[in-house]
């Protein structure tokens, strides 16, 4: 009886210890403006910060002071940090073209990675990231704000249930007034307006949302062709990159129009899906407008936010790393979709540069 009680006690103890175990996360880079999300979730208990790689000492000191971070957590060399603190996972908050370097360092060490959208600036980098992840058995997730939206999930469910019929046209509008206009940090502005670090301007920054959502809706299917037009409405501010981009993706029986812009009168991320039977519009994260029959009026609906951990990218990342959550192949965060996103964006840049439609092989 005594041994049974001891065994039961040990089982309960280890179960509780496992449940309370935090995922050890390190940060690679502080120049991307979204990094502040990480530090503004002090009420959460799912992760613990074990290290920060940032070669810019002034920027590191700025964040150490702002969020009262122990200076001992900061490193100026990525490999040194990884070997010293041995994190379970890394969240990358540097320039997009630096994602490949982070994965090259993390993958052989079996460290999982989450990057901010998009996955990479070139298709070659995206494919190498995918190969490294597969060879080393790690997760590489790409974080899009629209992945948190309950409205997008609701519309996709309508598609899967056949209530919209076959998809014929999708319109994705995303962007804001412009990085300078919304007062992003100097470091983030420098990334976004650098054609190497960001890959492009609004085309990359906001065109990626439509490519991600459309590839998801189409269950991973690649478009036949990509056509893009870019422009500089504000060349005095955005000297090296576009601030306006329109991309058309053509499929055998569907078309997607992606409008990414730094010229909207206000921030927006919305998606319109038109099928052979009906249509639905994801207006914002929790608002949907739908018209499901020709003789019925358009209906405006307010829906509940997605459940935990889907409304917090770091909670989702921790759940995936700890094995509590398994993402499907056709998940908005996962590599198959996001490699295709980079392929689409690469073709869009070629199309805009050559002033012609690019047909994918």
Take residue 46 and report the two structure tokens written for it. 């799912």
Domain-located, residue 258: yes
Integer angstrom CA distances of residue 54 from 6, 77, 280, 341 = 48, 8, 43, 28
Query: Do 171 and 125 share a domain, yes or no?
Result: no
Query: Do 271 and 342 share a domain, yes or no?
Result: yes
| Of 145, 161, 180, the domain-final residue | 145
Take residue 317 and report the two structure tokens written for it. 């990342």
Query: Do 79 and 115 share a domain, yes or no?
Result: yes
C-beta atoms surrounding 276 within 10 Å: 10
| Of 128, 145, 162, the domain-final residue | 145
Query: Do 131 and 170 share a domain, yes or no?
Result: no
Take residue 284 and report the two structure tokens written for it. 């914002």
Query: Do 161 and 248 share a domain, yes or no?
Result: yes
Domain-located, residue 320: no
pLDDT in tens, 284-296: 999 999 999 999 9
Query: Do 129 and 163 share a domain, yes or no?
Result: no
CA distance 215 to 258: 12
Domain-located, residue 310: no
Work out how many domains the chain is built from and give that number. Answer: 2
Kindly give the pairing relationship between strand 112-116 and strand 140-143: parallel
pLDDT > 50? residue 19: no
At 253, is the secondary structure helix, strand, or coil? coil
Beta-bridge partners for 302:
287
Q: What crossing angle do the helices spanning 335-354 and 123-136 adopt, rounded to 10°?
A: 170
Share of the chain above pLDDT 70, in %: 94
pLDDT > 50? residue 5: no
Contact present, 222 and 360 (Cβ < 8 Å):
yes
What's the pLDDT at 16?
A: 42
Query: Do 86 and 235 share a domain, yes or no?
Result: no
In CATH, what number is assigned to the domain containing residue 153? 3.30.360.10
pLDDT in tens, 58-76: 999 999 999 999 999 999 9
pLDDT in tens, 294-328: 999 999 999 999 999 999 999 999 999 999 999 99
C-beta atoms surrounding 265 within 10 Å: 7
Instruction: Look up the domain containing 59 and give its range.
Output: 2-145
Query: Do 41 and 60 share a domain, yes or no?
Result: yes
pLDDT in tens, 130-159: 999 999 999 999 999 999 999 999 999 999
Cis peptide bond upstream of 309, omega within 30: yes
Contacts of 78 (CB under 8 A, 6+ apart): 28, 53, 101, 102, 105
In CATH, what number is assigned to the domain containing residue 43? 3.40.50.720
């Amino acid at each position: 009886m005594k041994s049974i009680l001891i065994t039961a006690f040990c089982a309960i103890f280890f179960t509780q210890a496992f449940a309370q175990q935090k995922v050890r996360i390190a940060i690679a880079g502080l120049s991307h403006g979204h990094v502040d999300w990480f530090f503004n979730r002090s009420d959460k208990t799912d992760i613990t910060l074990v290290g920060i790689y940032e070669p810019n000492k002034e920027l590191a000191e700025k964040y150490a002071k702002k969020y009262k971070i122990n200076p001992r957590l900061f490193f100026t060399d990525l490999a040194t940090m990884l070997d010293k603190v041995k994190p379970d996972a890394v969240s990358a908050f540097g320039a997009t073209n630096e994602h490949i370097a982070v994965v090259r360092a993390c993958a052989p060490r079996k460290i999982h990675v989450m990057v901010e959208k998009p996955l990479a600036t070139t298709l070659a980098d995206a494919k190498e990231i995918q190969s490294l992840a597969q060879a080393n058995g790690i997760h590489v997730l790409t974080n899009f704000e629209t992945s948190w939206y309950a409205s997008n999930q609701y519309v996709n469910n309508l598609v899967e249930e056949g209530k919209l019929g076959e998809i014929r046209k999708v319109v994705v509008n995303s962007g804001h007034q412009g990085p300078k206009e919304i007062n992003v940090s100097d470091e983030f502005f420098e990334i976004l307006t650098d054609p190497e670090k960001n890959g492009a301007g609004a085309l990359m920054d906001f065109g990626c949302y439509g490519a991600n959502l459309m590839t998801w809706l189409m269950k991973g299917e690649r478009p036949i062709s990509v056509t893009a037009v870019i422009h500089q409405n504000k060349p005095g501010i955005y000297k090296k990159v576009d601030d306006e981009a329109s991309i058309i993706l053509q499929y055998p029986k569907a078309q997607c129009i992606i409008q990414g812009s730094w010229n909207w009168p206000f921030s927006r991320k919305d998606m319109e899906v038109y099928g052979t039977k009906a249509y639905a519009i994801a207006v914002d994260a929790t608002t949907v407008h739908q018209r499901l029959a020709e003789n019925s009026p358009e209906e405006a609906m307010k829906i509940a936010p997605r459940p935990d951990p889907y409304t917090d990218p770091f909670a989702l990342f921790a759940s995936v790393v700890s094995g509590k959550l398994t993402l499907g192949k056709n998940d908005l965060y996962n590599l198959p979709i996001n490699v295709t996103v980079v392929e689409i964006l690469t073709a869009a840049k070629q199309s805009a540069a050559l002033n012609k439609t690019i047909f994918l092989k």
